[in-house]
Structure 1
């Protein structure tokens, strides 16, 4: 059996053989031109070598680093366009020719250690003139050495320039950081030192001790005040008012005058009546004295505008201002104690505020210490950067006197003749022929692969297996001789060798579809894949198996193929298709050569086929035939050309896809299968039509292998189109 890849290649060769032959001829012609070319003139190779070097004595780190960086130069930098143009101008050689003749080989680096495996740089130059080859190599070596020296000097000067640019900024940042630290120390350093040497905690302790002493003193004064209150029967405010009133000389005189007037009134009251002028005068004098007494008492208590008023009232002024010297002394003592108590309370409040302030200041000490530490670190960092820049600048200036090229001559120039064997014409032609055969065959295979069409049944089978779709049967290509126009090959004879394949298809359809599979919809992804042929012959196989079978051509966009079954379609059916489908007796035809087989020919081509398929007449027709027949086969329009198959699908119990080598597109079949499976539209399986299968003929005829011919043009397509419907 021929492998699938060989089949695909044979099919592609039949279609693209002229492209492959043209490629083969083109390559053979090119090799012939190369073979007949005359021998080139002798060439000479000037060979020399450079090595990585450095200064004899190095006193700076920067100089050593620059020398090491000089080893990183690549071939493109060493053989720069400027160097090539300069040498080509001097030697009279074209730059492109000079660049193509130079071979520069740099040492490789170890992949694990990253170090150079050697220090030798190989330099070769090919030329037909040995003297010129030596001069070119000499110029190249001098140019590369000078270029390395210039690169090292430029790098060093760039370092010095960059350091000089950064030093003022680093110095300014250092001074700013030192100034911040100095200002912070001037403001917060005393508090930090006080916390560190313990004086701040001592101040808190002393404040607490003073508070306790003041509180004890206030407690003693409160005891004295309570004792004096018990003795006088007055509180502090009353004692203050009484003491002030008793000490006033004007009140003392007025009180004396009032006592004298009252004494006279008491003496004269026994002899005189109240209406007596003397009694009236004394009463008026008493009243005036009392008013003066009351007025003076108000002035004393109110402060008379020059002193603060006293806390108290002036009711009972005579009693309040009549303290004897002993009580007045006690009252003054009580007032003095109250004043002392208030003074001590103010001192206590002041001590409490000072303690709170000291505690707050002490609680902020850790933050202040952290801030100062941060400022110190910032100063240290800025100073370290500044010192490193100073050291780098000094080191770079020292290296300026040491900088030399990273290359030196390792091997003197030697010129040798490059001897070449004369080319073999036979070998060149043989190699060209072989390459032409390989390239031509590869182009044919590539063009065949890029078409995106299944070439063999094995390709279709693998695609279905990947998508887990059942393969219902493989149908060989049937002969198309002696067919009427627009006819398709059908197995009307019960002795046909092709009937066996459709019997197998029918049994597999029943096995995969189940017992409830009664209405089968057969479609394809595109035209010419054999869906109508499969539908007709499947119906014939089912009818010969004793099943009452009906074929309905629901492809209303194409004319009927029922002439292949020797059934004449109704010529007027396309005028009123709904009326045609509404009468079963008119639209159903009996196939004369096959018992139990009936067909409803298509009235197509019909405009607005979708409206017909969605009509109530089609619905009633499908309901009726489902009850009358054992198997109903629906032949529909291809999926890629219209949605007619999806419109008629709800009336079916399962769908069957027909694929055909050399016709079915890979992407179209895969997309159709994926959509039907995802939409759960009842895809039962797939039929491979037109497969290259060996047919076992009767003993009188030898076995032959029917393989599908490749379509070359439109005429050939018409001749094989019958099996593609």
Structure 2
């Protein structure tokens, strides 16, 4: 048996046999690829890069030690991930859609395709009032030439006028028309709500960190319009930065409100103090204070300035404490730019605002009941109580310092008692006025600082690479063409090889060699001639040459041994064993051998032998009648002088017994003395066992297999014969092979030609 090896030449031959299948499927596959590219909208990808600024690095001291002491996690590690969620949040994308009016789409209707013309559309949606949440309208607008239009939505038509409201089941729609951009055909429109369009964009939006240690985000979005993809990313970054600025400004706005409240109070008190000084001088006719009074006044002013600064600190701390206690259940941003001298408290207030901003971001994305929101609020609550306790301690310390300064101020005031009473009274009023004035100037300075900070608030992100969209990412023309070419060849090839795989008939010599180990003595071509004899003297047809090749190969079946008598059999009727026996006899006779054809298919004599001349009696008559003469049953075939035949004769009732008789064996012995080559035409061994019963009278067995007729499963019969030695020296002849340039007969046909 032969091992399976790929013969690419034969595979190509099989494929070329079905050339028409390739001619049909290949253009269809390529045409389908072209049609797909024509119909499919190209998709673009816009990309941008955004640097998220790390504001924590601007501080002088890292707050992590403070957070660890409070049991608060370091949320800076989660900061970048939270920014990703913010950029992909639905509210932010909805604002992008509203700002760019992307909820309205316009298309030109072309052959098998719709092309986006949102920038150059002659019609625009002026107003859309949906009748219910997420209501959408998708249809075609046709112009009627009189300021009106027809809107086709599936099978429904609605008549409307430009500039007027059109009532639809989905809502109320108002369209406008620009005559300078008039279109020859209908215009397709798609009207969505901002939420629906935002969800479409978010589905194609990708936001990811460039690296593990990097604070840079890479943004990309896919869309069918390159300019729209760029605009969406740029607007998204713009709104994100504006949102971060707004959040920071809340802190400064709260600081300004607190400072304005204090300035209004101090302003009134300062005006009253100035009025008191002026009134006192007028009543007592005083213009200046004495030298000693001026010195004491300066000392007292210095102490009072320090006391005033301390009072400012106490008031600020008190305001912050009151702010935190007043908003116990409703967290708000705490003012931080109030010149608080305690660094720990400043860091805590900054961290409080950071946590608060973080809470707002997570709540916007995840919802108010999300576990992470609950966790952050718990941290804020703990930190607020820690800040309040810290403020109380700081206020106590500041109060101690203030008491010391009050004692020094009191000593100066006791020295002033020695001054005249009128001068002493003026000094008291001046001291009170200076105190209010210093406090008022200090608050004005802090208000200006807060106002400047509010005006120059920096965004959280910085654009490194603005949005850019390049060539379409899909469909890729080269890839589609390659797939189409591959399918154009692969599909018909799969069909061809599928047909061959499902074929259970023996077709080629390889099929035989893979099924059995018996040698193949010859391959005979399929003959279109009606004549049952294809071998004639001086014939050079492909069929005749193949029989001559078979005659030559018989010498190699039993090298060095005489092969005088052969059995010709097959698996089933119709495989051509009698045809081969007849033409092989002619071939041997043409070689000068004395040949006899003995028909031993006693059950069903072959019609192949009807053309040859026959005697009145056959082998059956000889076997059942001991008095029958051998010469009476032998007759020349009329095909060649050296080619005789003994026909079957009448059908016997006991063919098996006749084949087992000694008289048959005596007959074979007599024939072997007269003839050089004896052909025993027997019944198919796959049907009856007659051939096996005469194995002792033959030198070899020719087993005929017909291409396209014999089933591969029937080759097992040959293996069984060989393994159990049922017939002598079996060999195979493959019959009726179709002539093909890529197989056996092609070379015979091209060299010798086919006889007409």
The TM-score, its normalising length taken from structure 1, stands at 0.41
Q: Whose RCO is larger (CA < 8 A, sep 6+)? A: 1
